[in-house]
Amino acid sequence: DPWHAKKIVEVLEATVRSLSVSDVAAFVAGRELLDVAPAWDGDPGRSALLGLAIVADASQGDVVWLDTATVNDASVRAALAAVPMRAHNAKPLMRWILGQGSEPSPLRLDTVIAAYLLDPADNRYALRDLVERYTPYRLAETEAAASGQLDFSGGPDERQVAAREAIAIAALSNAIEAALEAQGMAHLYRTIENPLVLVLAKMEHAGIAVDSAELVRLNERLTSEVERLTGVIEQVAGRSFNLNS
């Protein structure tokens, strides 16, 4: 497959810098495309957002870090909502942004969805795997992971990890977009797969309404029925036994 990388020639690194809120808004508004990687405190999209890494110059490994306060600034939110983004597994980030009362950036590419479309038979869609499969790069290991030692320092630098991931997303996205075009799947991705990500994010954000009182009644009725049937079965069998065995 000509779109799969044949050898790894470079470890991706990144230099992280922060900007003032006003400079971030101007930085975002001045771009045509955002390569973005979030950092989470726990479960992606359902835990606190630690910050957002956005590529400023992929060729130089230059990444801008937005902490949560910056992301939540009204001017920054408005700027982000106006610029298309490329991300890896974008739905959790989009769902989180919806939960903050804002519209997420228009999605240009989700590398997970696109990679699945290109090769649905594979079962490895982690960013690290895809970068090594489609580009001549690889993500750097954290210091503890690289040394094989336990990390007692409180974990990796989330800013640095997210920054490296953002640089990886930029490189991977270019390769994935080229592969979609080459395999004649770009139109399918743009018109069907890509718009569905926002639909699913909105569905998960909205959730569903349930009648909790009715669920309690249903549980009580079914529990009672199971107990009754258990008695009937044990009477037929002539002894008690574990029906779940």
- pLDDT at residue number 154: 54
Q: What integer pLDDT is reported at residue 145 of this predicted model?
A: 47
pLDDT in tens, the chain (245 residues): 544 554 556 888 899 999 999 999 999 999 999 999 999 999 998 899 999 999 999 999 999 999 999 999 999 999 999 999 999 999 999 999 999 999 999 999 999 999 999 999 988 999 999 999 999 999 988 654 444 555 555 557 999 999 999 999 999 999 999 999 999 999 999 999 999 999 999 999 999 888 999 999 999 999 999 999 999 998 998 888 887 76
- What is the predicted pLDDT for the residue at 148? 52
Decide: 21 and 68 in contact? Cβ < 8 Å: no
pTM over 0.85: no
How far apart (Å, rounded) are the C-alpha atoms in residues 239 and 245?
A: 15
Alpha-carbon 38 to chain mean position: 8
The pLDDT value recorded for residue 7 is 56
Q: Which residues contact 196 (CB under 8 A, 6 or more apart)?
A: none
Residues 6+ apart with CB under 8 A from 19: 27, 64
Residues near 80 by beta carbon (within 8 Å), at least 6 away in sequence: 28, 34, 71, 97, 102, 104, 105
What pLDDT score does 10 carry? 83
Give 29's contacts (C-beta < 8 A, 6+ positions apart). 79, 82, 83
- Within its chain, how far is the Cα of 39 from the centroid? 10
The pair of structure tokens assigned to 9 is: 């020639």
195: tokens are 């718009």
pLDDT for 147 equals 47
How many other C-beta atoms are found inside a 10 Å radius of the C-beta of residue 154? 6
